[in-house]
């Protein structure tokens, strides 16, 4: 991991660099300035609610000399990276030249670039693979008044056309997130947070986990689903928090248990299978009509379940059952058969 940015020649900068070094992160791309303080944020929290934040920072653009050094460093390291994350906080570091350099070099090196945008002019991020704005940032950057999901879908398509990105992941706070890919239906991913104590850093968690997943081969929906879980863990902690792999695995296990004995849509099922395999869980699949449930069915399902960690039962459609069993079948329709199976499997 290589980190790029600017900090001050001060005590906070020293602590930050030490923390980064302790995690074996490369810091050659971090530049220090005497007259530019290390950005710090003091949060006043009462009853688990943030009521005030005091920022100490310098938002002026970096000097032309520093910009040239950073561009040289970026051109040097990108070919050896799995991908690039651009977190634009509008603090004077990600200049237009630097953004163009990242996009151009990444494109030549065939690397993904995931962008968390800050500028209302999304054309700056042309060439990104995925952009991850929140809903407010989307609303301020499109000539569309967003009142419902249809408007949000049109706004997402507008931004994809503008940036030529492959996908846009829009975070929506308590409403979770939505994923839009070229010409495809907007996919909603509801939040699965149990309790919300502090949303500080939730957006950073989303782009970090989403990018990590994409860089190792997850598709965008799987990566979004995983990042949604990670953010759900983080908002349950007070202050600027991180999420560990162990916490994600534990949360994933709980989520699998939550969706146990439920009827799932194909996309959600695919994601659960993928996540289960990523944690070395064995997935067993079987299918059938299950129109008139009897003891043989129950014994069969119990034995199938014993073969692995997760059992998925594919249920034949009414049309399929009719073809297999005759015109007078099924006796119970799909919904009824699914409900019977769900209760029996308990």
State residue 107's pLDDT score: 95
Flag whether the pTM goes above 0.85.
Answer: no
State residue 182's pLDDT score: 79
Q: Which residue among 88, 151, 204, 318 is the active-site one?
A: 204
The strand ranges marked E within the chain are 2-8, 26-33, 40-46, 49-56, 83-87, 112-116, 130-131, 167-171, 177-181, 187-189, 283-288, 310-315
How far, in whole angstroms, is CA 206 from its chain's centroid? 5
Cβ atoms of 285 and 314 within 8 Å: the answer is yes
What is the rounded CA–CA span in Å between residue 134 and residue 171? 5
Q: Is 116 a catalytic residue?
A: no
Which positions of the chain have pLDDT values less than 70? 48, 193-200, 255-261, 278-279, 344-346
Nearest to 84 by CA among 117, 68, 106: 106
> In angstroms, what CA-CA distances link 303 with 191, 294, 306, 313?
34, 15, 5, 13
| Domain range 282-345, its CATH number among 3.40.50.620, 3.30.565.10, 3.40.1080.10, 3.40.50.150 | 3.40.50.620
- Given the structure tokens 């949060």, which residue do they identify? 43
State residue 45's pLDDT score: 80
State residue 30's pLDDT score: 94
């Amino acid at each position: 991991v290589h980190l790029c940015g600017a900090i001050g020649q001060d005590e906070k900068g020293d602590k930050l660099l030490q923390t980064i070094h302790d995690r074996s992160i490369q810091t050659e791309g971090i530049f220090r300035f005497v007259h530019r303080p290390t950005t710090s944020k003091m949060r006043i929290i009462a009853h688990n609610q943030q009521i005030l934040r005091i920022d100490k920072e310098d938002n002026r653009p970096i000097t032309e000399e520093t910009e040239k050094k950073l561009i040289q460093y970026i051109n040097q390291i990108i070919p050896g990276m799995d991908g690039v994350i651009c977190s634009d906080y509008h603090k004077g570091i990600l200049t237009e030249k630097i953004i163009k350099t990242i996009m151009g070099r990444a494109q030549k090196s065939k690397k993904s670039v995931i962008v968390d945008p800050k500028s209302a002019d999304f054309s700056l991020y042309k060439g990104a693979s995925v952009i991850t704005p929140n809903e407010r940032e989307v609303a301020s950057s499109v000539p569309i008044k967003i009142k419902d999901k249809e408007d949000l879908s049109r706004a997402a398509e507008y931004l994809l056309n503008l940036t030529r990105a492959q996908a846009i992941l829009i975070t929506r706070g308590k409403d979770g997130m939505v994923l839009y890919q070229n010409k495809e239906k907007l996919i909603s991913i509801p939040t699965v947070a149990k309790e919300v104590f502090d949303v500080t850093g939730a957006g950073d968690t989303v782009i970090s986990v989403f990018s990590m997943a994409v860089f190792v081969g997850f598709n965008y929906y799987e990566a979004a689903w995983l990042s949604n879980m990670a953010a759900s863990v983080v908002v349950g902690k007070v202050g600027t928090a991180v999420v560990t792999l162990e916490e994600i695995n534990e949360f994933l296990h709980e989520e699998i248990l939550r969706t146990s004995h439920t009827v799932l849509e194909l996309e959600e099922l695919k994601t659960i299978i993928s996540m289960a395999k990523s944690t070395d869980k064995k997935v067993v699949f079987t299918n059938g009509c299950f129109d008139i449930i009897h003891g043989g069915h129950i014994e069969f399902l119990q034995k199938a379940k014993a073969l692995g960690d997760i059992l998925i039962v594919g249920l034949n459609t009414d049309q399929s059952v009719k073809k297999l069993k005759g015109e007078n079948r099924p006796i119970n329709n799909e919904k009824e058969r699914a409900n019977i199976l769900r209760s029996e499997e308990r």
